[in-house]
Amino acid sequence: MNEIIVRYPPSPTGFFHIGTARTVLYNFLFAKNNKGKAIMRMEDTDKNRSEKQYEDNILSGIKKLGMAWGTDWACSEDEIEYQSKRTEIYTKYIKQLLAEDKAYYCFSTPEELNELREKAQKEKKAFRYPETWRNADKKLVQEKLDAGERSVIRYKLPKNISEITFTDAVRGEVTINLAELDDFVIAKNLTTPLYNFCVVIDDNDMNISHVIRGEDHISNTPKQILLFKEFGFEIPTFAHLPLILNADKSKLSKRKNKVSVDDYLADGFLPEALINFLALLGWNTSDEQEIFTLEELIEKFSLNRVHKAGAIFDIEKLKWINQEWIKKMDISMFYSKVLEYWNSEDVKKSEKYNFDISKFGDLSGCEENNKNIKFLKEALSLVKDRTKQLSEVFENLELFYTDDKNLQYSTDIYFHKKMKTSSETAGESLEFAKKIIENLEDSFEFTAENLKNIFIEKIKEAGFKNGYILYPLRVALSGSEFSPGTLELLEIFGKERSLIRIKRGVELVA
C-alpha cells in the first residue's frame, strides 16, 4: 500500500471519550504527517447501545478539537461510512466462509456455555469453546436452522497454524499462540455480523494502510489477521497505543477522572491545550518541548516515538499546559475566548457552571465605544496569566465588580509573616497609602508605573519596607489574600474607587 489511509472508527455507544480522542488524534497526526487521508467510520453494529446522540457528540467533539476527516479533511456528513449500511457486504463474506467450510453455525446455548465457563474457572483453566458444533452433521444443522433455533456463526480456527506473528509499529514483533484462541464468533446470524469480522471487510474495502488503536485491541489482532488471510486481503500495519491510566495506574475510568471530552471543555480547557495534552499521553519528541501547536505536532509526530508503557492522566499537567496556552494569548484573543466559553453549549449544558455575564454590563459593539468592554478587558489582563482554566475567570473577576463601599472580607488576611503585617498594623499602612493618593495632583497620570515611582519614594522616605505598605493596600483593594499586583489594581480602579476601597479597609480594621 503506497497511500497512507487511516480510519477514525468510534462506536456511538457513549459520549466522546478522552481515550477515543487520543486515538483519533494519533491517527490524524500520522496521516497528516504522511500526507495521507482519514476515513470516518461509525462502527454502529451494536444496535442495542448505538444512539444518535452519541454519534452527534463524537462528531461534534472531533470538530471542536480541530481534527477533520475525509480525502480533503472536510467535515461533510456524506463522508462518513456507517457499518449499519454495509450489512449486505458483510453477509456476502459470511456466506462465503460458510460455503467454504471455514465457518459454521453453533447452537450451544448461553446456559451450556456458562456451565462450561464455571467448570473451567473451578479447575483454574482458561475457558475455550469446545468445538461442539465444529464438525456437526450438515443435515442436523439445517434442521435446526429451519426450526428457527437460536445460533451464532463461528470462525473455524485453522488447525495447521500454531501461532500468529505480526510487526507492530509501536511494539515491534508480537507473537500470539493460537492455543489461546478458540473458534470465535463472527456473527449472531447472516445479517448481524460482529466487530472482528466487520473491521476486516471494512479495512480492506477502504484500503486502510494503518490500523492505529489502543493496546486493548491487541487480543483482537490475531483474529483479524486470520480473517485477512482467509479472504486473501492485504494486511494493514498495526500500531497499538498505550493505555491511558489513572494516577494509581488503573485503567482510566469515570469513577476517578472525567472521561468525556465535553466535560473538559465545560471545565474551561482550551481545545488547543487538550490536543497538546493528549498528544503527550504516550508520545514525545527527542527534546524537552512540551507546548505544541497542532501544526508542530503534525510536523514532529511519528509512531516510532510512541511509548509502550501506559500513560498517566495527570490533571495538574493538563492545567499547566492550559495555563501556558492562555499566557500565549494577547488580551483581545483572551477576551474572545472567555466570551466564547461563557456562551458555549458545553457550559450551558453543564450543571456545574452558570455564568450570568450580564453583571459585566452591555458587551455589544466595539471597544472604542463601550466602557464596559474596555474595563472588562483591563480586568482580564490582570487575571489572564494566573488563569489555569476558563472556568476560574468568572470568579476571579468578582473583585472588580463588587460594590466598593460594602466590600466584605476577613481582616485575618492582613497577617503576613514575611511582610510583618497584621490586622493591627494594617490601619497604619492604609492611612499612609491613602494620604499618598489623596495628595496626588489632578494632572497626575494614574498608571501602575507612575504610582510605583511615587510609592517607592514615599515609603523609603518614611523608613518603611515596601511590603509593609503594599501588601495591606493590595488586600484592601482586592478583598483577597491572593490577587493581581497592588499597583495594577490601583490603575484599573482609578483614584476615586481606590480611595473608597482603602477607606473601607480602614473601617474593617478599626
Q: How many Cβ atoms from other residues are within 10 Å of residue 18's Cβ?
A: 22
Write down the catalytic residue from 95, 119, 138, 254. 254
Q: In what order do the strands lie in the sheet with 163-168?
A: 172-177, 163-168, 237-241, 210-214
pLDDT at 75 > cutoff 50: no
Bridge partners, 163 (sequence order): 177
| Grid cell for residue 240 | 497499538
Q: How many Cβ atoms from other residues are within 10 Å of residue 309's Cβ?
A: 10
- Distance of alpha carbon 236 from alpha carbon 227, whole angstroms: 12
Pick the range with the lowest mean pLDDT from 89-93, 178-182, 199-203, 251-255: 251-255
What are the pLDDT digits (tens) for 177-194? 998 899 999 999 999 999
Residues of the chain with CATH 3.40.50.620: 5-85+244-312, 87-241
Residues of the chain with CATH 1.10.10.350: 404-509
What are the pLDDT digits (tens) for 286-327? 898 999 999 999 999 999 999 999 999 999 999 999 999 999
Query: Is 337 marked active-site?
Result: no
Angle, helices 466-478/448-462, rounded to nearest 10 degrees = 130
CATH number of the structural domain 5-85+244-312: 3.40.50.620
Cβ–Cβ under 8 Å, residues 311 and 244: yes
Element (H, E) at 28: helix 18-33
Q: Which CATH architecture has domain 87-241?
A: 3-Layer(aba) Sandwich (3.40)
State how beta strands 185-189 and 152-155 pair: antiparallel
What are the pLDDT digits (tens) for 405-426? 999 999 999 999 999 999 999 9
| Grid cell for residue 500 | 473608597
Q: How far apart are the first and last CA of the chain?
A: 81
Q: What's the sign of the alpha-carbon dihedral 399, 401, 405, 406? A: negative
Cβ–Cβ under 8 Å, residues 448 and 488: yes
pLDDT at 254 > cutoff 90: no
Give the CATH number of domain 404-509; options: 2.130.10.30, 1.10.760.10, 1.10.40.30, 1.10.10.350. 1.10.10.350
